């Protein structure tokens, strides 16, 4: 067994085991309901799914693989995090990287995602009192040695001007892309549909653009989306967005396909609005790579069967690939470490 060099791994790994127990999940039920009432997009199912992802992320063997190294003996430096608030506990992956790489962390929580993460921090501090003070939730970022900003609402240029004097990682609004060939199996389409509808398709991990060959038969995918989204078919906010998108397309005589809880449309917007999954036709696989390259800054991941020489994620794995969640942050922190 690999010896533990990084003492900070132990409380996270212990919490990961506790998070998988029924007793722990039941203990968080009041907070889950509180979070749901504060933000209707964060349904109890969405909150539990975020907790599940976090629990899988802090598996001991995986943490040893990513973070089991001696921490620097330099004075602690502080990294600020401004999360996007698109999913419950959206700051958790970045906070995990910051703390396990030996930095202090301050999180300016999104105002509608401010319930579960403080509870998780408290659990970690209970497991390891030495962590107290190394993870803080703040209303306004204090002076930091580096800053991570997810989905800049005020625009990249404003954040770059504000943070020009310190290292920073700025992520634009992103999405995932599915590259389809027409050879997908029913099971692959089911997994893809799950990545489309999870968190109502609002997360940067969500597949919101489809690349499809001309003449592609969308019926099996529409059926898969409908089947995967049965638990959100009565969600008021989603249905309001859906009705609005239908209205503007009907008025402008734009064609769309109705998957019950989502529309599929040949949209011109790079990032489809909530309730819409856009599709883009391609004539030949060789045209896909330059299309993706032109948009690489706004693409979180590409999933599909792919072609020879093309690096893509298997369909339906964009949420379960822990490296996708963490590696960009780790690489950034290594540049300031």
Q: DSSP states of 115-183 as a string?
A: SHHHHHHHHHHHH-GGGTTTEEEESS----SEEEEES-SS-HHHHHHHTTTS-EEEE-S-EEEEE--S-
- Looking at the structure, give the CATH architecture of the domain made up of residues 9-172: 3-Layer(aba) Sandwich (3.40)
Average pLDDT over residues 224-232: 92
Helix/strand/coil for 248: helix
- Count the Cβ atoms, other than its own, within 10 Å of residue 193: 27
Average pLDDT over residues 31-52: 96
Q: Which residue matches tokens 């401004």?
A: 82
| pLDDT band for position 53 (cuts 50, 70, 90) | very high
Class of domain 175-304: alpha beta
268, exposed or middle or buried, with CB in 10 Å at 0-12, 13-18, 19+? exposed
**Alpha-carbon torsion (139, 145, 148, 154), positive or negative:** positive
Please give the span between the terminal C-alpha atoms of the chain, in angstroms, as a whole number: 27
**pLDDT (tens digit per residue) in 255-277:** 999 999 999 999 778 888 999 99
CA dihedral 265, 238, 229, 42 (to 10 degrees): 130
**pLDDT (tens digit per residue) in 270-323:** 888 999 999 999 998 888 989 999 999 889 999 998 665 567 899 999 999 999
Nearest-angstrom CA–CA distance, 70 and 76: 14
DSSP 8-state code for residue 313:
B
Helix/strand/coil for 287: helix
* In the chain, domain spans: 9-172, 175-304
Residues 6+ apart with CB under 8 A from 317: 191, 195, 303
Nearest-angstrom CA–CA distance, 48 and 322: 17
Q: How many CA atoms lie less than 13 Å away from 209 in the CB half-sphere?
A: 24
Average pLDDT over residues 91-97: 97
Judge whether residue 200 has pLDDT over 70.
yes
235: closest CA among 200, 192, 273?
200
Residues 6+ apart with CB under 8 A from 262: 196, 197, 201, 225, 229, 242, 275, 276, 277
Judge whether residue 132 has pLDDT over 60.
yes
Nearest-angstrom CA–CA distance, 1 and 115: 37
């Amino acid at each position: 067994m690999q010896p533990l060099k990084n003492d900070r791994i132990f409380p996270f790994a212990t919490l990961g085991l506790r998070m998988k127990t029924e007793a722990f999940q039941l203990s968080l039920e009041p907070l889950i309901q509180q979070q749901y009432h504060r933000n209707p997009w964060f349904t109890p199912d969405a909150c539990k799914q975020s907790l599940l992802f976090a629990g899988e992320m802090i598996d001991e063997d995986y943490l040893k693989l990513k973070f089991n190294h001696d921490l620097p003996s330099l004075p602690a430096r502080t990294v600020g995090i401004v999360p996007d608030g698109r999913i419950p506990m959206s700051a958790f992956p970045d906070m995990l990287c910051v703390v396990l790489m030996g930095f202090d962390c301050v999180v300016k929580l999104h105002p509608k995602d401010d319930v579960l993460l403080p509870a998780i921090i408290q659990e970690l501090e209970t497991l390891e009192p030495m962590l107290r003070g190394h993870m803080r939730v703040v209303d306004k970022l204090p002076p930091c040695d580096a800053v991570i900003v997810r989905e800049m609402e005020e625009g990249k240029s404003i954040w770059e001007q504000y943070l020009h004097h310190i290292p920073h990682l700025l992520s634009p609004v992103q999405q995932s892309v599915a590259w389809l060939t027409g050879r997908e199996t029913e099971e692959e389409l089911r997994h893809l549909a799950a990545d489309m509808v999870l968190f109502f398709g609002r997360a940067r991990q969500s597949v919101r653009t489809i690349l499809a060959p001309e003449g592609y038969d969308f019926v099996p995918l529409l059926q898969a989306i409908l089947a995967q989204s049965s638990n959100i078919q009565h969600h008021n906010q989603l249905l309001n967005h859906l009705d609005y998108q239908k209205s503007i397309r009907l008025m402008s005589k734009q064609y769309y396909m109705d998957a019950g809880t989502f529309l599929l449309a040949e949209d011109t917007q790079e990032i489809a609005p909530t309730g819409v999954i856009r599709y883009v036709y391609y004539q030949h696989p060789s045209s896909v790579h330059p299309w993706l390259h032109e948009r690489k800054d706004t693409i979180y991941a590409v999933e599909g069967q792919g072609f020879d020489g093309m690096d893509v994620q298997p369909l339906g794995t964009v949420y379960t690939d822990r490296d996708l969640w963490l590696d960009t942050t780790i690489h950034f922190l290594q540049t300031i470490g």
